[in-house]
Amino acid sequence: MTVTAERGSDLIGPVELARELGLAVPTPEQVAVIAAPVEPALVIAGAGAGKTETMAARVVWLVANGIVAPERVLGLTFTRKAAGQLGDRVRARLRRLAASPLLDRLDPGGQRRAALLACDPTVLTYHAYAGRLVAEHGLRVPVEPGARPLTETAAWQLAHRVVSTWTEDIDTDKVPATITNLVLDLSGELAEHLVDPDDLVRWTTRFLDAVENAPRAARQRAGLPKDLQRILATQRLRVALLPLLADYARRKRRAGAVDFADQMSLAARLATDHPEVVSGERSRFGAVLLDEYQDTGHAQRVLLRALFGGAAPMPVTAVGDPVQAIYGWRGASAANLPRFASDFPRLDQHGGAGPARQHHLLTSFRNPPEVLDLANAISEPLRGGASSAGPGNGTDADGAVPALRVPRLRPAPTPVPVPSASPSPRTSGPNGSGWPTGSARSGNGRSPRRGRRRPPRCWCGGGPTWPGSQRRCALGGFRSRWWAWAVCWTNPRCANW
């Protein structure tokens, strides 16, 4: 079922829609994302900025205004837990919309309510979506449509059988278990980066030749440094493992199985080499939401760009934060965020292509102002010159990747309360001061032996809290009110911790 808004019809705003559904009123920066034009957009969302709620509100706004039907919404994220949370929140908001009398005014014919009651959006992980593409179109690659995904344990066992039964010589002193891990790592890296083994052999040959035959400087030793020798040995070992990699791939095909890296690389090949797959996905979905885009890899970028970007981009909304990019060790690239502006261009009225719009969600609802001040100060060196660049209008030093603006987080209008400095009434000292009493320390924080004031300790008997004083923070270089926290740093069981 396809639902579209009539041209010229009035659209309900995000604030009015939230009030009609009994939800919290969005902030101005959330309103800009929720009611953004139906075109590609990049959202830089800081930690605790309410990105999941904003994405769910974006779906509700699109469906309520008849811009897209609920079954034509695709949401992709990384983990199954995140996909479940996003899917549950979107479906809960849509159920509330279906039960609201607002639809009677927006859609007297009842088509939108019927669509809400009959269909749900599609919310998956990136790998689950790639696996579905392979299952539906695998014969085009070709791969068996019913190929079963291998777990990490099953993949290791299959690779270990390849290594343990290998009869040819390999110039290495590593044990079979280590070789098995190297084979799996190399297989995953080649698949995630869409690199053919023959290309790896050609690149390694050129690299070894360039290093070994490089002219030496005056008074340089004849032999290569040990660190460089280890690098060359690693490159030679990778080439020596390619026959084992080919045998591992043959055994996977014989068993009718694929691993996670295979799913993504095969899906990327389907999207780039088969236009019919692209047209089918474009006709199935009308709006796409991409969560945690800073953790996507090269194969995922190629897949999504081929399906929903290019010369005729779809309304794709990507949400991410380059400061939270933590999966570079497995092939993810935070550079995919600034590249989004060119991978999913925005078309103007004359058909010209321009960079996608960029929005920011910088109001943190999770942390109090003191935590945000400290976090901004610590992360400032990591932001570097990117924070001073305009949104999507700069380049890196090599001119390859556009610069990305990463502003500082700011607290919510109603700040999150910090832990109270006063102890719980049930656990305060008998003198009402909240500090532990006894022969070692009195309730007023003075030593009974010398009478000199010392740093008061937490009422639980743990470390000092320095109430009423100001200390210079060694990390951020600014003054912070430690007394506002009354935190016991040495006793995690303390209720003030």
Is 377 within any annotated ligand binding site? no
- Bridge partners of 125, per DSSP, are 77
The per-residue pLDDT for 408 is: 84
Query: What is d(CA 414, CA 480) in angstroms, rounded to the nearest whole number?
Result: 20
Dmax (CA) for the chain in angstroms is: 87
Q: φ, ψ for residue 30 (rounded to 5)?
A: -70, -35
CATH class of 14-130+275-363: alpha beta
E-strand stretches of 373-489:
394-395, 402-403, 410-411, 471-472, 479-480
The answer for residues whose C-beta is within 8 angstroms of residue 31's C-beta and 6 or more apart is 13, 14, 15
Is 48 within any annotated ligand binding site? yes
* Token couple for 320: 């991410």
> Could you write out the DSSP letters of every residue in 204-261?
HHHHHHHHHTSPPPTT--SSPPHHHHHHHHHHHHHHHTHHHHHHHHHHHHHHTEE-HH
pTM for this predicted structure: 0.77
E-strand stretches of 14-154:
41-45, 73-77, 122-125, 148-149
Query: What is d(CA 28, CA 25) in angstroms, rounded to the nearest whole number?
Result: 9
Query: What is d(CA 292, CA 325) in angstroms, rounded to the nearest whole number?
Result: 9
Is 46 within any annotated ligand binding site? yes
* Token couple for 292: 């945690």
Per-residue model confidence as pLDDT tens for the chain (497 residues): 444 444 345 789 999 999 999 999 999 999 999 999 999 999 999 888 999 999 999 999 999 999 999 999 999 999 999 999 999 999 999 999 999 999 999 999 999 999 999 999 999 999 999 999 999 999 998 888 788 889 999 999 999 999 999 999 998 999 999 999 999 999 999 999 999 999 999 999 999 999 988 888 887 787 888 899 999 999 999 999 999 999 999 999 999 999 988 999 999 999 999 999 999 999 999 999 999 999 999 999 999 999 999 888 999 999 998 888 888 877 888 889 999 999 999 988 777 888 999 999 999 988 888 888 888 888 887 766 443 333 333 344 344 455 566 778 888 877 555 554 444 444 444 444 443 444 444 444 444 444 444 544 444 444 444 444 333 333 333 333 343 333 344 444 444 43
The per-residue pLDDT for 405 is: 65
The SS3 call for residue 348 is coil
Q: Among all chains, which residue has been given the structure tokens 């591992």? A: 248
Is 45 within any annotated ligand binding site? yes
Is 272 within any annotated ligand binding site? no
Is 52 within any annotated ligand binding site? yes
Which residue ranges make up each domain of the chain? 14-130+275-363, 148-255, 420-497
The per-residue pLDDT for 183 is: 96
Distances in whole angstroms, Cα of residue 194 to Cα of each of 5, 232, 262, 273, 277: 40, 23, 10, 13, 19
The answer for residues whose C-beta is within 8 angstroms of residue 182's C-beta and 6 or more apart is 174, 237, 238, 241
Q: Which of 75, 63, 59 is nearest to 115 (CA)?
A: 63
Query: What is d(CA 288, CA 373) in angstroms, rounded to the nearest whole number?
Result: 34
Is 81 within any annotated ligand binding site? no
The per-residue pLDDT for 416 is: 53
